[in-house]
Structure 1
Amino acid sequence: MKRKLFCELSPLTYAISERKCEMVRTVKNLFEAGNFAKTRSDQKLEYSIYKHNSLIRRRLGNVDMHLQENKAVNLSLAAPKINMLLIRPGETFSFWYLVGSLSEKNGYKEGLTIFSDHPSSGIGGGMCQMTNLIHWMVLHSEMEITEHHHHDQIDLFPDFNRTIPFGTGTSIMYNYLDYRFKNTTDITYQLVIYTTDEYLCGELRANKRQEHKYHIWAENVFFSQKNGIVYRNGEVYRDKIDRRTGEHVEKKLIRKNHARVCYDTSGLEIKAV
């Protein structure tokens, strides 16, 4: 039998481990904060690099829609902490450095979270949707992603009006599982993030044009079954294209999916492998 980790022994040991991770990251941030992006501008930068809107109240399996309503509140509180942020050359974006702790005292409500391999709830739930949006836009830029966590190859919800490839999401946990990227270019970028009644809206802008544009797409997508378990498979690629000539510069594999499906699979077309 596999020996349990300390954090798996009980809710208390999990809480102790979580607190330890938070303290370690807090100490590290003391040495790194000088490089974090923190300056905002009242004006939008001249060039729009990429835009995307994400529906806030999505039907996700049997998830209580009340958690989605609370998520809308949580996103509306966090968005202004990032909106109009400049990421200048050499600076690193840190989601948790900007948003901070999610507490009831600060107005956050119980929203949807992911714990292990199943949906759960917690104060401030829903922040993954914001880092998903930011990550998707950053994938269309020249910047370098330096910290990115996934939900460990699990497919939690059936597709509902999916507009971006499966596997391009993020997993975060205050403050030790962060989403970070570094501006390794000579361009100053800007994040525009806000909410409406229906959408979390995002735009990545810059003070000059990029040399390249990017296209992210999936291929070889199918469901398979092994030992009674259904998996979602596929590869996600990023095409790099010269903006002026339209010449294809690079095709890069950025994610290979083999994710265990955690919902009713009776309506899926499963491929024999």
Structure 2
Amino acid sequence: MQENKIVNLKIAARRINGILLRPGEIFSYWKLIGRPSRGKGYLPGMILRNGSFQAGIGGGLCQLSNLIFWMTLHTPLTVLERHRHGYDVFPDSNRTQPFGSGATCFYPYGDLMIRNDTQDIYQLLIRVGADDLEGEWRISEKPQDRFEIVERNHEFRSEYWGGYTRHNQLYQQRFNLYGELLDERLAVENSAITMYAPFLSGDVPSTNVKQSNDTEGGYSC
């Protein structure tokens, strides 16, 4: 399924790569890609559903929507629609981005929609590299700001029904070109049911205990 995912990503990337987002226009992930089908060359890949994983035609396209959403958080573009899985299926392993920084997609209802509320033209470039999925937003004028993402209020909660949930908030910070913080806003608030034990054996908290970790270090792009 990993090999099939690469095929699926290459097909989808061709539909998106190079598009222009002019002032006032809206980017729709599914409007550009369309329905993934065998007739278009899509293969079975891994998809997450109801807290488990299975094979599905076009599986793996969430990796592309994840990347586009993460890049967009580092721009002044406005995210109109974004979804994430209600389950956190896998524990962290070499995580480089905060929990909940992606955007899942499921045709045709779960879309990723982005509006350009600026006066500049943006261009989206996507490519499937030798080892990574790569992308960038380009802008028609020199940017006057840069953005960082800060994770706050990250915690696992022990629930009354015996399982755990995971929560956090992601804030978008805007800096000028001299590195001065101009403002910040809440960009994303995440909640998900964990499908794994988040604590080491023998270190499980009681049902009324939270374990929290505020990450003040920024995630920049």
What is the aligned-residue RMSD (CA, Å)?
1.9
Whichever structure has more strand as a proportion of its residues is 2
* Alignment match of 2:14 (pick from 50, 65, 80): 80
* Alignment match of 1:121 (pick from 49, 55, 58): 55
C-alpha distance in structure 2 between counterparts of 1:96 and 1:238, whole Å: 25
Deviations 1:114-173 (A, max 9, x none): 223322221001111101100111111111111112213x21111132211111211212
C-alpha distance in structure 2 between counterparts of 1:93 and 1:196, whole Å: 23
C-alpha distance in structure 1 between counterparts of 2:200 and 2:5, whole Å: 29
Q: How many residues align?
A: 205
Task: Tell whether the 8 Å contact from 1:222 to 1:270 is kept in structure 2 after alignment.
Answer: no
Deviation, 1:226, is 2.3
Equivalence for 1:213: 146
Equivalence for 2:218: none
C-alpha distance in structure 2 between counterparts of 1:204 and 1:179, whole Å: 16
Using the aligned pairs only, state the percent identity: 38
Whichever structure has more helix as a proportion of its residues is 1
C-alpha distance in structure 2 between counterparts of 1:135 and 1:181, whole Å: 9
Structure 2 residues without counterparts, runs of 5 or longer:
211-221
Task: Tell whether the 8 Å contact from 2:164 to 2:197 is kept in structure 1 after alignment.
Answer: no
Q: 1:264 to 1:249 in 2, by over 3 A?
A: same
Secondary structure of the equivalent of 1:172?
A: coil
C-alpha distance in structure 2 between counterparts of 1:106 and 1:220, whole Å: 43
Task: Tell whether the 8 Å contact from 1:224 to 1:270 is kept in structure 2 after alignment.
Answer: no
Deviation, 1:270, is 5.5
* Alignment match of 1:111 (pick from 37, 45, 52): 45
Relative to the length of structure 1, the TM-score reads: 0.70
C-alpha distance in structure 2 between counterparts of 1:144 and 1:88, whole Å: 13
Q: Does 1:131 align with 2:79?
A: no
Q: Does 1:182 align with 2:115?
A: yes
* Alignment match of 2:171 (pick from 229, 233, 237): 237
Runs ≥4 residues deviating over 4 A: 268-271
Deviation, 1:266, is 5.3
Relative to the length of structure 2, the TM-score reads: 0.85
